[in-house]
Amino acid sequence: MLRGFSVSGRVALFSAVLWGAFAARAEEVPYTAKEASRDGTGKVYLGREISQTVSSHAISWLERRDREAEERPTLVMENLGLKPDDVVADIGAGSGYFSLLLAPLVPQGRVLAVDIQQEMLDFIEGRKKLKQVRNVETILGTIEDTKLPEGQVDVVLMVDAYHEFSHPREMMLSIVKGLVPGGRVVFLEYRGEDPNVPIKPLHKMTVKQITREMASVGLRFVEVRDFLPIQHFLVFQKPAP
């Protein structure tokens, strides 16, 4: 019993407890729902409807010959500013296309290739053996957790992947946990501000929206570079203590 409280005081206290529980729950689950649009899931995060996963993201698509001309991955590597001993995480690594490009840039470091499909990781392991690459490690993540080692990652790279995460907040919190203080997150996302970019709207992102989402998990905007044909190169940083 709540001795010493009047009836009105007990009601007020009970209401405060209920509101606190509701507020805590709202913080844990920052998603809302709507009727799904043509290419969306109906799940909304900070005003953005999460897109459906593109089924064409198969190995043959990821390894297509014209990818260099379309997305300039070599130019991306030149702009990452990696140090030889960096630990780099390729989130949504898929076939390992970018993971294997990253490997020679960090000869004293390592590349963590993270994906939620074991089949993709098996393919990467096969490519590692074929090319005799020894500094790429595969990690099986989940839709809510990248499984990155805590406080060990210098740079995280995500290529056209973030907008499809079904649990973007949880994934980003696991990424922030994995970063060293001052560590960077680099996104390649199709430019949502440009209607001429021939990509479905929910598979593009604006600088404003992605900055809002990163701020919600404590990442600081550093810069955006638009040297690629149709993608943003966005950089965020985990603040140092």
CA angle centred on 104, ends 103 and 106, rounded to 5°: 70
Q: Model confidence over 177-205: pLDDT tens digits? A: 999 999 999 999 999 999 999 999 999 99
If you average pLDDT over residues 91-98, what whole number do you get? 93
Q: Model confidence over 50-76: pLDDT tens digits? A: 999 865 456 655 555 666 767 788 999
- From first CA to last CA, the distance across the chain in angstroms is 45
Which pTM was predicted? 0.84
If you average pLDDT over residues 75-89, what whole number do you get? 97
Sign (positive/negative) of CA torsion 159, 165, 167, 168? positive
Q: Is residue 38's pLDDT more than 80?
A: yes
Question: Per DSSP, what are the bridge partners of residue 38?
Answer: none
Contact 62, 72 (CB under 8 A): no
User: What is the pLDDT, as a whole number, of residue 20?
Assistant: 41
Distances from the Cα of 214 to the Cα of 3, 18, 67, 128, 168, angstroms? 46, 29, 28, 32, 10
